[in-house]
Amino acid sequence: AQTVTQSQPEMSVQEAETVTLSCTYDTSESNYYLFWYKQPPSRQMILVIRQEAYKQQNATENRFSVNFQKAAKSFSLKISDSQLGDTAMYFCAFMGTGAGSYQLTFGKGTKLSVIP
């Protein structure tokens, strides 16, 4: 079974600064997908960014980028120019590509606070 570990339960960052959220995972699969989801306070969870394991290039979405290290099984999220609206719970998630692989395995989350 896959496991996803987020070692930072809470983090804070000053507005306009850069912050990196850590995520490691364990799997025996060679191809898979990785995701970062954001859950703002009292609001719906939304997808921030995703990465396919066979793509070596790190994914980027505006101010959000990932550092994907396949050999180390690490998938960190970097938020540049942090904004107050980035305050949220962030969940790292894994999805395999085998038969019936519809399930996401989530980490326990990192609560990020952006301080004015």
Q: Pick between residue 17 and residue 29 the one whose CB is nearest to another protein.
A: 29
By CB under 8 A, is residue 47 in contact with another protein? yes
Query: Which of 75, 83, 59 lies closest to 25 in space, CA to CA?
Result: 75
- The reply to whether 60 sits near another protein by the rule CB under 8 A is no
- Pick the piece of the chain touching another protein (CB under 8 A) from 19-27, 62-70, 79-87, 104-112: 104-112
**Spatial CA neighbour of 58 closest among 80, 46, 38, 74:** 74
Residues 66-95 that bind another protein (CB under 8 A): 91, 95
Cβ atoms of residues 75 and 25 within 8 Å: yes
Greatest extent of the chain over all pairs of C-alpha atoms, in Å: 46
Question: In whole angstroms, what is the distance from residue 79 CA to residue 81 CA?
Answer: 7
Q: Which residues bind another protein (CB under 8 A)?
A: 6, 9, 33, 35, 37, 43-47, 50, 52, 91, 95, 97, 100, 102-104, 106-109
